[in-house]
Each structure stands twice: as structure tokens, then as C-alpha cells.
Structure 1
Amino acid sequence: MMRPDTASCDWQLSKESLVERMKLVLRTSQWSDCVFRVGPEDDHQMFRVHKLVLAASSPVFDAMCFGPLAEKSCIGVPDIEPQVFQILLEYMYGDVLQLKSVEDACGVLYAAKKYMMPHLAYLCREYIIRNISPANVLGLLDFADSVQESEVYDSCLQVMCKYTQEIANSSKGSITSLAVSALLEQNSLNISEAGLFDMAVRWAKDECQQSGIPASRANCRTMLMKIRALAKIRFLTMTPEEFADGPERSGILTADEICALHFAFCGLQNGNLQCGSADSSREDKEGNSVYDDESECKCDDVDDLFVIFGAKHKQSLSSPSTIAKNLTSVLGGHGLSCNARPRNRISVRQLSCARRFLKTAVTVPGRLRLLTKLRVSRGVVMTGMRFFTRLLPQSEFSRGRVLSQEYHEDLEVCVLDGQGALLSRTLFTDTVVYNTLASIAFSEPVHLSSNKEYSVVTLLPAGEGLEHEYPLSFLSETETCHGVEFRFCDHAETNGNGTFVRRLDMGFVDTVLFKFL
């Protein structure tokens, strides 16, 4: 057993606090009286710990160490990763939680629930909720469902509803039946109904491939029917063109279903058909009227239903008098939705965090690269920034009057993560006013996770033989806006060799534009 300090037996004298002493005892395993084998059998790690510390932190560990059925030999924990168990131990010994990723937070949350440590579970839950983004929300939704974490689940659902289209575009092969089902249940989504149908079909194809069966139209339809997707897609909120280009062409719907939906479109356009009625509607939690999927489809003038689509599908029905009956029996009989109420869109409020101006520092000519390092205390989406425009050049003055107040700006702005990976690149070209602030909307919004460092790199241009002058300033390094703390640190590449040095006097990014997840 390794001693804490081979140079001195009195190591306790140099540790001023109990936390320092307990951390050292954990690190050295001195006086340990219990061994845990953590991780799967082929990749496990041994931890020598102290029963008293563990039992004082958890009633489960108390029972494992001192209960009537206490284990005497090595205790196996195959369902927790070693790095997660290490974080758990550091919390129990040092009363501090150091989470570096959402993945670690999920692992520690699982362990906290397993060992009945509610305060630790609360800390992990808050960390996860702060760091949900469209990039990780699908995995977190499945995790929250598997461990019955309703707060995390609801927070994931809120992000999915706000960024549905973005998730649909980037989730190829990763979206799950749980996510598809959850989205189809919502009355407010930021995606078109046709886009929602495409997402569901793509999920069905992926599900077929994962199940080892051909992704045929029939098999995809079977997958969709398993989660009642066709009963939740609001086909009647699509335009006839969207329906023709999407669901009709997909091969998922039968000829009878397509026929009935075409007639329903025609009836809705002419005002002769009502899908759902006052008696069959109900209000959801948001106060919106929702029509039950099985509600009756009523037709006032059956003959008018042939005006647009009748010639194409007339042969599939015995007579015009059967159309209304067909709409109800085909849509309801096959589990298709009769809901004609469009889903609501969710507006995402644009916010800004402006840095306090301290004083003007220097005026620099382009070409120059400036770097602003950025951290946030809570996950947000950075959508753009505001910057200082050029100073009015002397050449614009003639006989004491200003000839032009505007110029054509040409900037390149890149956002990188802590490892230097490019997250967004924006080429800003626009006419702006001299000596003021201008706004840049990033070509790709950047999702900032809490307490992680990001870099905003701006390349100032130099025009044809001219050096344009930009005012740089001392700007505040910390600002709190809408409950989020922003930390800034300004740098500049002053020698042209690619090396940035810290320059507090070279602040260029005046304002960060952002929105909440």
C-alpha cells in the first residue's frame, strides 16, 4: 500500500483543510478497507476505498459495507464506467463535483440514482439541462426515458420542438422511435408537416436496416404503423402540392388512402368538408383546440369533391354518394389522422449581451487577425455578433465636408471550439456606416455549452493598396445578461506568424447575439 508522502510521515501537517486531507487519502488509498471492481469484465478498474466514507454518503453503500448482507470480498460494479466512479468518489471524499461533459454527467446521474444520493443527482440533472443542444438532444432524450428523469426529458422535448428542422437535417441514422413518437404528439413544432413526414419515413428506413430487413415501402409502412405515426401525421394541414410531392409519392400510403385524402383536400378548399367538429374537439395543455383522430369527416356537398381530384380517382369509389363514408372509413379505418389544425410555430427570442465600453485604446490598420475567447455559464445558441466599423478615412473629407458616410465591408469570422475545430465560418459583405456598430448573422448558429472555451476569430481586410483603420477598445471581460454569465478575453495576431497574444486593448467584438435553447 502506497504511503501519501514517502519523504515525511507527518503529511497531515501540510494539509490545512479536511477536504485536502480526504482528497489525498483517496488518491493514495491509505487505510483503505474495501475494494471495488468497476466496469465491464474485459475493461475494469480496481478502486481501494474506505467503507466509512462511502457509508456516510449513501444508504446503499451503508448496506453494502455494514449491513447484514454486507459483501466481504471485492465488490463488482459492472454497470458503471471507471471514470464515472472516480467522479463519484471525488464527490464523496471532497464534496466537489467536476463534470467535463454531458456524457459524464449522465453516468454520474445514473450512479447517484442507483446509490440514493439525491443532491448529487440534482447537480447532475442541472448540468445536463444547461447543456442540452440539438447535437446531443436525441441521445439525452433516450437516456432520460431509460432512467425516468422527467425534468431532463421535458427539457429535451422543449429543445426538440424549437429546433425540429435542424434536428431533422442532422439526425440521419440517429433518430429513435421515442423521438419520432414524441415529436408527432406535439402541437407546436418548428418544422412543416411534410418535413415531419419525411423525418418519420427516414426513421422507418433506418429501423428496417437495423432490423436486417429490406427498407421496402411495405416494411417502412409497418414500422410507421407500430408507433402509430400515420395516425399522428396531420396530412390535411399540408398543401395539395406538398402532399403530392411527399406522402403520395413515398409509396407509404395505399391508393384508397391517397384517394380519400385528395377528396378531403378538395372539400377543405371549397369549404364543403369539415374534419373534426366542435363536439369532437378538446383542449390540450396549451389551450389549443385539438381534434381527435377518430372524429367524423363531414361533407356538405359530395358532388363538389370531384372538381379538383375526382377525375383521377373516381374509378376507385362506387359512386359520389359514398365519398363521405369513404373519408371516415378509410382515414379512420387505416388509422390516418383527420386533424386539419396546423401545428403552432415556436418563436425563439433573439437576445444580446453587450460588453461595457471602458476606453478607446488603439487604432489599427487591416490586415489583422483578432481573437476573442468566450465562455458562457449556461448553454446558448450564438447567432451572430456586433463589431466596430472602420473610422472615416481622411480621403473622404473634401473642403471640410464629408462625401460619404458608408463603405462596403468585407470580413471573415470563424468560430472554433476549444480543440480548434471549425464550428462556423461567415463571410460578411455588406454596406455599413463608418464609425458605428454593425451586426453579423452567422451562416451557421453555434451551440455553446456551459463552461467550455470557444474562439471567435475575425480577419480584418486590407483594400487595394489601402490600409483601413478600425478602432479597438478596452472592453469589459465579464457580463451577465438574461441570467447567463459571458466571459471574454481579447487577443491579437500582431506579428503575422499565426501566434495570438493577449491584448486587453484590442477588443473588437462589442456584442454577442444569442438565443436560448
Structure 2
Amino acid sequence: MDNKLLPKLSQNLIEILNDDEYYDITIEVGKDPYVKVFRAHMVILHYRSPYLKRMLSTNKKKNDGTLVQIKLPNILPEIFEIILRYIYGGRLSLEDYDISDIIKILDAANELSLQELVTHLQSFLIENKANWMEENFDLVYQTSFKNNSFLELQKYCTNLISEEPDKIFKSPNFSSIPEKLLLPLIQNDNLQMDEVQIWERVIKWGLAQNPALPSELTNYSKDDFKTLKNSLQQCIPFIRFYNLTSKEFMDKVLPYRKLLPKELYEDLLITFLKLSDPDSKPTNKSKPRNRKERTRSRQQKPKYKPVRKGEYDSDDSEQSY
């Protein structure tokens, strides 16, 4: 019986949004030149959004009858309209919106501290839009790591990148990802990629951060190497150089030796020169990646287990030389 009565209540609350008489607050949403003003009711906003509750605590209703006004410049008006209907009626039909809009709704819900909606949107994307998220992995990955509110998306992305690292390493936008997103990738123990490929992608990323560097390595000056080294100084400690073969080290790392700390380079050189087989690797010198046979098809979803806030642990940050 309770469930049968709720739709009518929800509809009546949404109808209040059209009230011309009893609203007591206006909300200016967006930035010039695209700004829209919404009318609302302080009591509903106060109890439905912790973020708006904090804002309203400093904007108490004025005794002279003047309306309270707050501004939300970081949210698009069309997205806030969707959110506002959810705040009033507790309903949101996600099938009515493009996935890119759902990502925007997720961002807005997080800004307004609508944690219940944030959790619901993440679950909806993971359970229903896996193919789209794989095709737009750059956007999803960067969105998920904007802050620690999107824990379920973070877990999903971490699992996916471990099993199919090409989703981001070979994507057209790989070179533009920020360093704070690259570091967790190369630290991942379960990354299903050869170490030499990881090294090549990291070099590619570093070069993209410095487009003024010469195109040919033979034309590099001492300062050029120093510039590239500065860009990669946070990444190099997490490359597991001892997991390379002797040939890979000679072909791919030796030309960039000036990027490495002196002690590391000297030890690597001694270690690999001792190997008689160019396809052999040093033993017990570096923690291996947990490589496994790939059984997941493109159409299958990665294993997903919802996580709660505080349960998600980032990858171990110890150095991985």
C-alpha cells in the first residue's frame, strides 16, 4: 500500500515547482551568457541537499519579504532542472537521457552532496552502459578520479584497465591524461601489459608534455634530456625495469639512460650485461606483474562488486624498480 501511494505524493511535490505564490528562494544557475533562474522552496532544499543546506544556513529568509537568492555557476541549467525535479519528486528516469548527460548529472549530484543519487547513477552506468563506457573510457576514467565520491566507477575502471590496458594506453587521448591518473595505472600490479610496452607508453606521454623537444633522440641536448626527465620523475620509480629482457633494455631503455637516476642505471647496466641470452630476464630483482590468461570478451562486463565509501584502496605506492 505504501508503494502505491508514493507516486501520487511524488507527482504533487513536483507540481510545487510550478508554484507562483509560495516559493521563497531563487537559484541562479550557470555562467554568462547561459544563465537561468529557478524558483524553489527553502524547506525542501534544506532537507534534500546537504550542500544547499549549508548554503542556506548563511542565507536565512529575510524579514522584509525579499527573496533569498543563491548561485550555482558550475552546473548547467538543463542539468540542474533534472536534478531539481529529482530533489522534489525523488524520481529520475535515466533511460530518457543520453549517457553524456548522465555523466553531467553525476557531477552535479556530487556537487550538491546527493549521495544516494551519486551511488544510483554509478550503479546504473556500470550495470547498463558497459559498452558505452568502454568506448568512452577516457571520459569515464577521468570523471571517476575527480574525487573520492565515485568509488564504484573507480573500482570498475581499475578492474577494466588491469584486464584491457589498451583501452587507455592506446587511446587517442592518452597523452593528454594528467599525471595523477597515469601514476595509478603504471603502479597496478595486475596490469596486463608487457613492461616494455608500459615504458614505451610512459615515454610517449612524457614527450607529449614537451612538444618543443626535438623529434629525433640523436638531436637531444643535455637540457632536452633534463626537461624530459623532469616530466617523468614521478613515473620512473614505478617502471619495473628488471622485468625487461636484456634486449628490451638495450633497445628501449639504454637510449634514454640520462632519464634514470645514476645508481639505478649503473645497476641495470651491470645486471643486463651479465645475461648471456638477450631474451632472458633478471631473476628476483623486481616484483612481477600478475599476468593472467585473458578470457574476457569485449561484450562481457568486468566483474563488478559495489563498494562503499572508504572501502576502495588505491594501488600500493611502493617503488617498483
TM-score of the superposed pair, with normalisation by structure 1:
0.46
Unaligned runs of 5+ in 2: 1-6, 62-66, 215-223, 304-321
Unaligned runs of 5+ in 1: 1-15, 277-337, 352-380, 383-513
2:160–2:302 CA contact under 8 A, matched in 1: no
Residue equivalent to 2:157? 156
Residue equivalent to 1:483? none
Distance across 2 between alignment mates of 1:78 and 1:255: 46
Letter aligned with residue 516 of structure 1:
P
Distance across 2 between alignment mates of 1:267 and 1:101: 58
Residue equivalent to 1:434? none
Residue equivalent to 2:37? 46
1:85 matches 2:80? yes
1:342 matches 2:288? yes
1:237–1:342 CA contact under 8 A, matched in 2: yes
1:349–1:515 CA contact under 8 A, matched in 2: no
1:23–1:90 CA contact under 8 A, matched in 2: yes
Counterpart of 2:31 in 1: which secondary structure?
coil
Residue equivalent to 2:166? 165
Distance across 2 between alignment mates of 1:108 and 1:68: 26
Residue equivalent to 2:60? 70
- The count of aligned residue pairs is 271
1:24 deviates by 4.1
1:155 deviates by 2.2
1:22–1:94 CA contact under 8 A, matched in 2: yes
1:134–1:160 CA contact under 8 A, matched in 2: no
Residue equivalent to 1:294? none
| Cα distance change of structure 1 residues 120 and 244 upon mapping to structure 2, 3 Å threshold | same
| Cα distance change of structure 1 residues 255 and 61 upon mapping to structure 2, 3 Å threshold | closer
Structure index of larger Rg? 1
1:104 deviates by 3.4
Letter aligned with residue 74 of structure 1:
Q
Counterpart of 1:208 in 2: which secondary structure?
coil
Residue equivalent to 2:192? 190
Distance across 1 between alignment mates of 2:261 and 2:184: 28
Residue equivalent to 1:261? 268
1:120 deviates by 1.5
1:516 matches 2:302? yes
Between 1 and 2, higher relative CO (CA 8 Å, sep ≥ 6) is seen in 2
1:58 matches 2:49? yes
1:254 deviates by 6.0
1:153 deviates by 2.0
Residue equivalent to 2:26? 35
- Give 1:43-442 correspondences, 5 Å limit: 43-62=34-53, 64-65=55-56, 67=57, 69-70=59-60, 72-99=67-94, 100-130=97-127, 131=129, 133-149=133-149, 150-170=151-171, 171-209=173-211, 214=213, 216-225=224-233, 227=234, 229-250=235-256, 253=259, 260-267=267-274, 339=286, 341-350=287-296, 381-382=298-299
1:89 deviates by 0.8
Task: State, as a whole percentage, how many aligned pairs show the same letter.
Answer: 21
More helix by share: 2
| Cα distance change of structure 1 residues 135 and 29 upon mapping to structure 2, 3 Å threshold | farther
Distance across 2 between alignment mates of 1:166 and 1:98: 29
Counterpart of 2:204 in 1: which secondary structure?
helix
More strand by share: 1
TM-score of the superposed pair, with normalisation by structure 2:
0.71
RMSD of Structure 2 on Structure 1 (CA): 3.2
Can you list the C-alpha shifts for 1:256-303, whole angstroms capped at 9, x where unaligned?
A: 665642431243558xx9765xxxxxxxxxxxxxxxxxxxxxxxxxxx
Letter aligned with residue 10 of structure 2:
V
